[in-house]
């Protein structure tokens, strides 16, 4: 064996050990890089919008979640369309109040959901947990509030587009609004970390494009042309793959977290038009 072989072997072993440690750290701690919850306690919802009220419901794995319901404004409020809002991976439901207020003013009610670990809710977020959370919200709307399917719409924001598309597989809505959808979490991750084996390391997958390809429901995709978090081409790809009647709404110059994509006129108009309420 050449004299340089033992040091080289030791170097390779050290490199392998360091790589194994890094992969283990990324595997164990990756959810801290995916989910950015803001906790509670939160003020009463009617301090933001008159008529807003707190609701609670229990998931199938026993987690009690708090959410806010904002009824539609107007004489036909009890018969108004209802939008189930699945947020993205950051903040809590206080940040989505402007969305709910804008919809309520246009005759559309909204349920703002916080996942486990968000907004004072117990638990830690993960893909399966988020799916259980949105299914519990759906059961509350349909069983407790008796909202019929023909008045129920889903709005997913960023990561929430995967959450509502999973719900739609078993409980199709009257319509689906996908705001800044990603093809899947691995594709979004590769856009930011092209030299890492993101697809291999990810524990949570969140496929969106794969699911909408099997959903034959009216769908609107809204995205910002300057989105720096979810590449605009991914949102366009989701719209391209959607099986149902699909409308694509581009918001020129809007980045991922800009106000235009929270409660801007193009987003609100898209929801209202899909829901069939008058301007």
Q: How far is CA 111 from the centre of its chain?
A: 14
* 114 annotated active-site: no
Query: CA-based Rg of the chain, rounded to a whole angstrom?
Result: 21
Q: Burial of 76 by CB count in 10 Å (0-12 exposed, 13-18 middle, 19+ buried)?
A: exposed
Q: How many CB atoms lie within 10 A of CB 188?
A: 21
Residues in CB range of 156: below 8 A, 6 or more apart: 86, 162, 163, 164, 165, 176, 177, 178, 179, 181
Residue 242 phi, psi dihedral angles, 5° rounding: -60, 135
**CA proximity to 215, closest of 247, 272, 179, 173:** 173
From the list 135, 140, 158, 184, the catalytic residue is 158
The answer to whether 234 and 183 have CB atoms below 8 angstroms apart is yes
From the list 135, 184, 204, 256, the catalytic residue is 256
* 235 annotated active-site: no
From the list 140, 187, 227, 235, the catalytic residue is 227
Q: How far is CA 127 from the centre of its chain?
A: 11
**CA proximity to 34, closest of 119, 112, 127:** 127
* 227 annotated active-site: yes
Residue ranges of the alpha helices (H) in the chain?
Answer: 5-29, 31-34, 97-105, 127-139, 160-170, 185-192, 198-201, 209-212, 232-241, 260-263, 265-275
* Positions marked catalytic: 158, 227, 256
């Amino acid at each position: 064996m050449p004299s340089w072989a033992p040091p080289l072997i030791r170097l390779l072993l050290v490199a392998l050990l360091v790589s194994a440690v890094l992969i283990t750290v990324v595997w164990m701690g990756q959810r801290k890089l995916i989910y950015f919850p803001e906790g509670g306690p939160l003020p009463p919802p009617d301090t933001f919008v008159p008529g807003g009220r707190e609701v609670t419901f229990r998931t199938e794995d026993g987690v009690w979640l708090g959410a806010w319901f904002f009824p539609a404004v107007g004489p036909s409020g009890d018969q108004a369309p209802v939008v189930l809002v699945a947020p993205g991976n950051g903040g809590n439901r206080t940040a989505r109040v402007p969305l709910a207020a804008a919809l309520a003013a246009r005759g559309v009610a909204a349920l703002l959901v916080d996942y486990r670990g968000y907004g004072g809710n117990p638990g830690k977020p993960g893909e399966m947990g988020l799916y259980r959370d949105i299914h519990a919200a759906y059961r509350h709307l349909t069983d407790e509030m008796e909202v019929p399917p023909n008045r129920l719409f889903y709005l997913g924001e960023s990561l929430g587009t995967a959450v509502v598309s999973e719900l739609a597989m078993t409980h199709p809505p009257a319509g689906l609004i996908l705001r800044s959808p990603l093809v899947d979490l691995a594709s979004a991750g590769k856009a930011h970390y092209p030299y890492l084996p993101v697809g291999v390391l990810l524990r949570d997958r969140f496929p969106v494009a794969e699911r909408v390809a099997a959903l034959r429901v009216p769908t609107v995709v809204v995205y910002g042309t300057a989105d720096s978090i979810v590449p605009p081409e991914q949102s366009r790809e989701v719209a391209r793959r959607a099986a149902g009647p699909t409308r694509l709404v581009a918001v020129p110059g809007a980045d991922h977290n800009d106000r235009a994509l929270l409660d801007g006129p193009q987003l609100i108009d898209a929801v209202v038009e899909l829901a069939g309420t008058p301007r």
